[in-house]
Amino acid sequence: MRRRAVLAGLTVVLPLRSARGAELVLVMVEHPACAFCRAWHRTIGPIWPRSDLGRRAPLRRIELGADPLPGGIAAVHATPTFVLLADGREVGRIVGYQGETLFWQQAEALFARLAEAP
């Protein structure tokens, strides 16, 4: 996803960047039969784009087995799997969904790795 800026009447698509300048995206690898994926979409999905983390890393949904994984993502064997990419490289991942509170804690810890990266 990208954000739009209007310059001199022209719409320009700009990549979303982290504070360090990396383009961030949170990839959700899911499957239509996954009950945990559906639970995530009910509880977190509606608020992710409005959250601080969601504004920093927009969500990109990929169906396991149907859509190719971006080059920066290692194999995925369980759904849902959430992979944080910075400039196309995997920063880390969350495997599974065990509820709203734990997900937000795991997501915060995942984004904290950005500050640790060289």
Higher pLDDT among residues 29 and 70, named by residue: 29
pTM exceeds 0.75: yes
Taking alpha carbons only, the member of 52, 69, 61 closest to residue 16 is 52
Domain 17-116 has CATH 3.40.190.10: no
pLDDT at residue 95 in the model: 98
Average of per-residue pLDDT values in the chain: 85
Q: Residue 76 in contact with residue 85, Cβ under 8 Å?
A: no
Of the ranges 43-47, 68-72, 114-118, which is most confident? 43-47
* Amino acid 4: pLDDT: 41
More reliable by pLDDT, 14 or 45: 45
In tens, the pLDDT along 53-102 reads 999 999 999 999 988 898 889 999 999 999 999 999 999 999 999 999 99
Instruction: Evaluate whether 33 touches 63 at the Cβ level (below 8 Å).
Output: no
Query: What pLDDT sits at residue 41?
Result: 98
Residue ranges with strand state E in the chain: 2-7, 10-15, 24-30, 59-63, 81-86, 89-95
**Residue 13's pLDDT is what?**
34
Distance CA 71, CA 52 (A): 26
**Confidence band of 117 (pLDDT split at 50, 70, 90):** low
Confidence (pLDDT) at 66: 87
Mean pLDDT for 13-41 is 80
